Structure formats: C-alpha cells, structure tokens
Structure 1
Amino acid sequence: MPTNFYVFKYATYPLISFKTKIKTMRKFTFLMILALFSFSCSKRTAVDPPSPESPPATVKATLANNGALDDTNIKYFGRWDFSNPAQYVSYWGGAYFRVRFTGTSVKVKLGNTSNYYAKIDNGPWVSFLNVGGTVNLTPSLLANGTHTLSLAQGKDYNYVFNFQGLVLDAGASTSAPPVSTNLIEYIGDSITAGYTDPQANVSDYAWVCSEALNCEHTQIAYPGINLSNGFTGTGMQTQYLKSQSLAYPSSPNWNFAVYTPKVVVINLGTNDTNNGVPDATFQTNYIDFLATVRSKFANAEIFVLRTFSGTKASATANAVLVRNQAGDKKVHYINTGGWLTAGSADYTDGTHPSVSGHIKVANLLKPILAPYVGGVQAIANGTYKIVSRSSGLAVDAKDKLTANGTSIQQWTYINGTNQQWTVSSLGNGQYKIVGVQSSRSLSVTGQAIADGTNLSLYDYQGTDNQKWIVMPTSGGYYTIKSVQSGKLMEVKGNSPTAGALIDIYPNNGGNNQQWAFQTP
C-alpha cells in the first residue's frame, strides 16, 4: 500500500438530517485532504537553505539534541554534503561546525583520517593530526557546565571532513551556539588555504580576518589552482561551481541557494603566472569569473585582491574596472602592494605567507571589510582637510572660487574654507564630499570616466560621479574611489608641486592616490 495515503475505517453514526450529513461529509473530506497534505510535507528531507534573514549556516531539519548527525543544534559552515544519513562530508578546506554541549568531555566520530583543529570556549585551536575514528577532543576533562565547540578540518591537498557525530557524557545534551548573521566567502589557491602553515586553514588570513570581524566564513581554495581553465587542467572558473575540490574531477555542481555571503574576497593569479597564462587571457577569464560570482550572489560586495607577489596585478585591476564600468559598482580592487615584504619572515618560502604574514594581511584587510559586515564606517562624518600622502599638500578649490566647474588642485594648507571638506556617509561604504566654502560637491568633471579626467566643484545631484568609496590602505591613509568609473582620485602625474590638478586614474598603489583625512 502506498505510504502516502491514510487508511480510514468505517464508523457508525447516529441518525442525522440530510443537510447535516452533507456538511459533515464536506468537513470530513476537507480534513482528509489537509491530513494528506500535512503528511506529504512531513516527508520532505531536503536541506532548507537559510532565508536572507537567517544565520548563514547550513541547517539539517530535525529535532535531536544529543550530538548525532540529526542534531539541529550543530551549525555547519562551508560546502557540506548531507545526502548520506550516516555521514556528512565537506570536500573544501576550512569547513567547520559549531555547537554548544553540556558535561565535561566530548568526542568526535570521523570517517576519514586527516588533520582536525578543535576550539573549546575561548581556548586556543588545538591540533589533532592524522586522526580518524572516534577522537577524544578533551583529553583533560572540562569543568562541568555548558561549553562551545568549534571543529575545523584542513590538510594540504586533502580537505575531506567526514563527520559522523559527537559522543557526549551520559545525560549531556547540545544547544544552539551563537551564529553571526554575516558570512564572508574567500576564493583562492594555496595562499588562501593556508598551505605550509602548521594549522592550515585556521591560521590563514581568511580565517583570522573573519574571526576578528566576528563573521562566519567559507574558504573555496585549493593549492596549485589557476583561475584559468586549460593550462594545467581545470581552473577555479569551473571548479568554483562544484561541491567538491579539484581533487574530484567528477564533482556535482554546488547549490548556491544554500547560503549567501555578504562579502566575497578573491585572491587568484599566482598559479596562472607560474603556468604561463597570458595576461590578456587571464584578464578576460577574470572578467567572466566576476560576472559568474555576481550571478550567484546578486548583492554581495566583491573584493578582488592584488596577488601578494604582484603578479597579474594590471590584468586583475583592469578586470575590476571593466566590471565597474559595466555597471557593477560592488566590485572593488584592493591593491595589496607593501602588505608583505619579500625575503622577510612574512613568507615561509617566498610565495606562501607565514603565520605572522597571514596575521599582517588579516589586520590590513579587516578595516577594509568592516563597514560591509556591520563594523564602523571607514571615515566618520565630519569636516576634514584632505592631504596627499605623496606631496603633503591639501585638496583645494582653485583660487577660492565657488562656481560650478571650479578646478580642484593641491595647495599648501593655509586654513582656508576652500580647503575644508564635509564628508557624509551615503551608506554601503559610499560618501559625498562637499566644499565648506562653496557648498558644492567634489565631482568628476562631465561624468567622464577616461583616465586623467579632472575633478571640479558642482552642485550635488546624487550622480555616481559625485559619490566616492573611501577605503583604508596603511599608516592612516585612504584611497578615494569614484563610484562611477572605479578609478581613484589622485594628484595628476604624481606632481609634488602646489597647483597640480586632481584627477582620476586606475589604482596603481601610488602614494599620490592615497589621502589622509585630518582635522582642519
């Protein structure tokens, strides 16, 4: 007999009127249909993706609270496969789960041998290397009470996390842990996977930065992977779409409805250089890849990092500009020049950052991402003088003029109101910058996007040539990016001379493209 149907036995009813019989039959029929509908709904076993308002964890729909696989209090982060009820598996490094539990001890059941990292309460990450089966995560008993466990996996080239449940004390139970509503997804190669670091993914810049921001995170990264297909095999432009890493060429596609990050950080290009991908090919592939990521996450802010070594920097920056000028204003190029020092303790082997190098990167990336994940805005609203890092001169409305079209130059600061600017947040990392003397807005002249277009004053109209994205660099300086063109405000020609004009130009990391916002 089909399991989708209820069986109803006949019953004998007292005598009632014909009209009452009809009403009773209608009511009975309605209840039977409702029961059938409810039963069919209760059989659904697919994982429900979180709604946009829900925490960005993958949640299995059930009611147990004993640490078994069907325990809804265990929150998963990363790309997990829940299809096998005997084991939940992730194939990308840096996948983790979090849960609260009572008692004095906890063990984990693992279906594979690999490297795992456990953190209990506010303690350090503890390594469990080359372990499998049932692993005791508390060789020293905990104080009796409620504790929070986080467990992550990461081993160079072997990123399988096969989870088969927890073993708790007799009578102990789980409860839901705290979960941030902010999720950051990182896409990269061995550098983003923490390759060569003693604790792999949990010690790399992606993990350290996200934890410092109190954000959840995913790492879709694999050693040796290119962005581009076809030079040493499959590149990230294809593998990013898969549930499993590059080690699994027959991987099924990933369901991008499962979670939605607020921020995506991409760091690719090192292996494309090593494997001979031409710059033009790389740039085209990067443009296409950024469009692919945007198609999956319509509202995410996407941050594209210059490789730490600087390889493919121009092609990377140009790909971002193309996307900006195609209308995607939420893609940002981050020039990482100077973040790490070649030949120093920042690296383990000249390519891969050391643990301390990863921490440096995380500390520099954190204030850039913070405004987009609930942190403080880059610049507080207020009135400032804006000073060039290269020349030490201030942004100035030429000759103290106030008319629309007045040129913007650099000049020695003399406390003039034509050198003072009111900065106001427009939300989403964007600002308007208005002259105190003129009450007119700092604008890219004529709404042009060409390299070298000068800045001028103009009545504020809310157009993108009058909106600016301010991002920290280092030493208290910032870049000021035109929302319309994606190009940076700079001192034209890197001139040190008073009277040099201010224009826009692609991000090249120059000090003439960096500015301090100082009290007048």
Structure 2
Amino acid sequence: MIDKITKPHGGWQLLFPGFGHLCSRPIQVVKQMVFQLFACLSMVTLLCNCSKISQEPSMASPGIKSISESSTKQALSALAGSGDPSDSNIRYFGRWDSSNSSQYVSYWGGAYVRVKFTGTTVKIKVGTATNYYAKIDNGAWISYLNANGTINLTPSPLVNGTHTVTVAQGKDYNYVFNFQGFILDAGATTSVPDVSGNIIEYIGDSITAGYAAGSGGQANVSAYGWVCSEALGAEHTQIAYPGVTLVSGYTTNPGMDVQYFKLQNPSYPSSSNWDFTKYTPKLIVVNLGTNDNNQSVPDNIFQNNYTTFLANIRAKFVNAEIFVMRTFIGVKATPTLAAVNARIAAGDTKVHYINTTGWLTSTDYSDGLHPNVSGHIKAANLLKPILAPYLGGSPALANGTYKIINRNSGLAIDAQAQGIINGTSIQQWTYNGQNNQRWTVTDLGGGQYRIVGLQSGKSLDVSGQSSADGAKLQLYTSTSGNNQKWIITPTSGGYYTVKGVQSNKLMEVASNSTVTGALIQIWSDAGTNSQQWAFQAP
C-alpha cells in the first residue's frame, strides 16, 4: 500500500506548466496540457496498481514512507515531452541560463542540446542569429550559418520512428545560443536521449574554441576537444573564448582567471557567478597561454596566476583529474610546467602536464597559429590515449614484456650487473637482449601499472619510498606500495612518460646523461627527452 506520494521535485507546475493560467493559453497549448495531464494520471494509476513499490523514509518527514525520489524522477522522465526548453527530456551540455522558461541561453561556444523525438520532422526555434550545427541520429553535422528564428532541421522528412537530434552552437566571438524549443510533428513527443555519464571540460582560448579552422571548418564541433571527447564517447563542454588570456588586466576583457568562474563569456564582464553544482566534469583539460604571450604577460606573473587558477579549479571540483597542456606552439611552456609542478608539490595528485611538443607541424595550421581541421583531428588523436585510462577506456599500454628505451640516449633500462636481489640499482645500458633488460608491464587499472624485471621477478621500485627529486630506482620484491606503481602516459612519436604514483614524479636518466651506466631516478616533470621512454618488443 502507498501511504504517501511525494510531490515531484519542482512542484506540480513541473507536470502542468502554466496550470494556473490555462484559460489564457492558445488552444494548441491547452491541448498539450491536457495531453500531459492524462499522461500523468496514467502514470499515477500505474504506480498505484503496482504490487511492489520501492519505498524509503522521506527525507522531509522521517519515518513516513513514500515513493522514492529516484522512482519519481524515473517516472517523470518517462513522460512524453513537447520540446519546450523546460521539457525534462532535453539534455543540456555547457553553461545554460534557465531563468526564463521560454528561452534557455548559453554564452559559451560549443554548448549543445540533445533529445529523442518521434515522427518524421523536427525544427528548432532560436533567437540570436549565429551559427548552428545539427545532426540527426548518427548523420553528419549540418551547418546553419547566421541563422535565427525557426530552422528546419529535416528539409527531407525522416523515416517515421524515434530519432535523436543534437544541436550545437559556435561562431567566432558570437557565442550566444538562445534556445526556444523544438517543433515536432502533430502528436509527436520527446523522450530522454542516450548520454554518457562522463563529462570532459575544456578551458582555453580560440584554439580550444575551434576558431579559424579553415575551409569547411565548423567552429567548436571541429575543435580538438570536441573531436577527442566524441571519440572517447564522453560528453563535453568548451569554456573557451577567442583572445582570452589567463591573467586579467592585459586586455579590455577579463582573463580566464576571473571569467571561468562566471556564467557568461568574457564579453560580459559583469556576469553573475556560475553555479558549479550544475554538473561535475570527470576530467578537465586546460590550454591557455598563447594570448598571454601575445600580450607580454611576464612569466612570473603568468606562473603565479596559473598556480592559483589550478588551485581554484580544484576547490570547485575536488575529484576531477586536471590536465594542463603545453600550448601547441610552445609559448609559456616553462611557466606552465612550473605551475603544474607547484600544484603537485602542494599535494595535488590529480593534476598532470601534457607535453605537446611535436604534436603539430606547420601544415597543421590555417594561419600559423590556429590549427586547421586536420590539425585539430591530429591533436585529438594524440590527446585521446592520454585521457582514455581516466575514463575507464583502453589502457595506454597493452600488457606485455618490453625493452624500455630512453628517448634522449637511445639506451635501455637495465638491472645493474644482471642483479636479482633486493636493492639492485637500475641503470641505462646498450641493449643486448638479456633478460635483465626485459620488463613485464601489467595494467593495474585506473591508468596504473606494475613493471617487473623478467630475470629477477622483482618490481621496479623507488628506493626508500622516497618522493624526493633524485631518488634512485631499484629492484625489490613486489608489494602493494605506491612506490612500485607507475602511470604510463603517451606523449608523441611512440614515447611515454612514466610517473610514480607515490611521488607524482617522472622516471628519468640522471643528469640527462647519454652514457652507459647512468642511473635511473625520479624527478619533477621537466619536459625533457630524458623523461620519455619507448616500450618496444624485445
């Protein structure tokens, strides 16, 4: 028996929009309301006749049993929708202002909406004239440039059935998406679309926004972040704007150190703050510094602001993995890396530096600064394997036995003097095919690996469980300690960085040496080739 039915979150107004003003509405709106009313009554009747209903104590009234909130939400989501902005079946990605129920607005490029619908046609109603990109089901993106009003997304009717529509917005500098709803066939309805549980947030400038992608480019949906996320099966946001600096005070608009925390883009300096409880990204990718270089922001100021910026992001998203990219053209690389290392030194174990050296060449740019379409795809393909392990995707490196070759010296990791006892030093040596130069790599999950000497059967271990720069590597009996766990991340050219889980520092050849016998140690990320390794068949 049901003792109580909890009022839906948001009140009965959620089920019957405009309930108190029924008589003043046009006849088609009234019909829709009546349709929703009967749908709701059918739902309640169905629930009341269920022989078993999951019950739990009401949070509002302890001890009083009610239909669980999750059950209520599931029932509500099953209601057929009309395509209005407040339709609970529509999924919104990006930062949206939903204060006006007749028009939801986003002010950052790359914002998108998705919903399933029945019938053969769909139109979208929008306000501001800008560029929109739409796709139906798994079709190609279709551009609607400088469009506003009612846009017919199906000039050729679809096969009757259930379809999915996704619409994104993105035009250089003009990033206002005034979404006023979808128009469906008579009698057609919406339903909840398939979406990923993972969100990746990209923070950047025109490069991250897909600016000037070249002939045929579709801003935002052509950008490396969008392409990478789609390949990973993740949802995504692009908090990016052309010309934006990290540091405020060097252009007429605020820098991202201020505007990232706002609802609107930098052309709205008086914007209200963003509500960070609206969604939680699993990964955050930051690519800033190109415009700071153009505006001659001093490196020390840039570094300090970047360090603070990363700390402020961490305060908003305590569990997100944060990836900081070297700018594609390499400017501000040194202070960017220093900021990442400062956060690591402060104890942030979930911040990572992505060295993009060699990712793009001159042919990958449309104007020497902004990647073209193929350049964005190239960058996305290089970024994908770095992010994938943190989303539960394919590991960065397959399990197997390898020789491990240093990028700087060309020499192999070697157990000194073919030692097999605990404490045996690890060095580099000319590869000779012996088993003391062969290493079995095993994926432990979560992007972590164990590396075991084939000859000794012992793990690659940081001596004394040290986290200090210069701590040496050794062989040691396998334990569960984090000083024997490694994060292997692809860089470029088939090379990887190998970072200690405990120390958050990279495996490297001491002093960038190229001579045989040089010892292997850990050190803060310096972006050098002596910290990069190839895992090759022995």
TM-score (norm 1): 0.85
The alignment status of 1:42 with 2:61, answered yes or no, reads no
Alignment of 1:70-469 (within 5 A): 70-197=86-213, 198-232=217-251, 233-341=253-361, 344-469=362-487
Relative distance call for 1:64 and 1:248 in structure 2 (3 A) is farther
Relative distance call for 1:441 and 1:275 in structure 2 (3 A) is same
What is the letter of the counterpart of residue 226 of structure 1?
T
Offset from partner CA, 1:146-174 (integer Å, 9 cap, x none): 22111000111111100011111122222
Return the match for 1:478 from 483, 496, 516. Answer: 496
Helix, strand or coil for the counterpart of 1:116? strand
Offset from partner CA, 1:10-67 (integer Å, 9 cap, x none): xxxxxxxxxxxxxxxxxxxxx9xx79x849972687xxxxxxxx9xxxxx98945121
Q: How many Å apart are 1:506 and its aligned residue? A: 3.8
Helix, strand or coil for the counterpart of 2:313? helix
Structure 2 gap ranges (5+): 15-69, 71-75
393-402 vs 239-248, which deviates more?
Answer: 393-402
Q: Is the 8 A contact 1:305 1:334 kept in 2?
A: yes
| Other-structure match for 2:65 | none
Relative distance call for 1:306 and 1:40 in structure 2 (3 A) is closer
Helix, strand or coil for the counterpart of 1:202? coil
What is the letter of the counterpart of residue 372 of structure 2?
S
Offset from partner CA, 1:404-457 (integer Å, 9 cap, x none): 332211123333332222323333212222223333332233444444443222
Relative distance call for 1:319 and 1:297 in structure 2 (3 A) is same
Helix, strand or coil for the counterpart of 2:499? strand
| Other-structure match for 1:13 | none
Q: How many Å apart are 1:288 and its aligned residue? A: 1.0
Relative distance call for 1:87 and 1:369 in structure 2 (3 A) is same
Relative distance call for 1:289 and 1:44 in structure 2 (3 A) is farther
Helix, strand or coil for the counterpart of 1:302? strand
Q: How many Å apart are 1:258 and its aligned residue? A: 1.1
Q: Is the 8 A contact 1:78 1:94 kept in 2?
A: yes
What is the letter of the counterpart of residue 11 of structure 2?
S
Q: Distance in 2 between matches of 1:127 and 1:334?
A: 32
Q: How many Å apart are 1:509 and its aligned residue? A: 4.0
| Other-structure match for 1:512 | 530
Offset from partner CA, 1:281-311 (integer Å, 9 cap, x none): 1111111111111111111111110001111
| Other-structure match for 2:21 | none
Q: Is the 8 A contact 2:488 2:496 kept in 1?
A: yes
Q: How many Å apart are 1:239 and its aligned residue? A: 0.8
466-475 vs 152-161, which deviates more?
Answer: 466-475
What is the letter of the counterpart of residue 154 of structure 1?
G
Q: Is the 8 A contact 1:396 1:410 kept in 2?
A: yes
Q: Distance in 1 between matches of 2:9 and 2:421?
A: 70
| Other-structure match for 1:28 | none
Helix, strand or coil for the counterpart of 2:98? strand
171-180 vs 301-310, which deviates more?
Answer: 171-180
Offset from partner CA, 1:191-226 (integer Å, 9 cap, x none): 101111231101010100011111100000111111
Q: Give the percent of matched residue pairs that are identical in Structure 1 and Structure 2.
A: 65
Helix, strand or coil for the counterpart of 2:535? strand
Offset from partner CA, 1:113-171 (integer Å, 9 cap, x none): 11111111222111111111111112222232222111000111111100011111122
Helix, strand or coil for the counterpart of 1:372? helix
Q: CA RMSD in A?
A: 2.4
Q: Is the 8 A contact 1:77 1:97 kept in 2?
A: yes
Helix, strand or coil for the counterpart of 2:386? helix
Q: Distance in 2 between matches of 1:503 and 1:39?
A: 59
| Other-structure match for 1:23 | none
Q: How many Å apart are 1:461 and its aligned residue? A: 4.5
Q: Distance in 2 between matches of 1:412 and 1:168?
A: 69
Q: Distance in 1 between matches of 2:429 and 2:406?
A: 10
The alignment status of 1:67 with 2:83, answered yes or no, reads yes
Relative distance call for 1:92 and 1:503 in structure 2 (3 A) is same
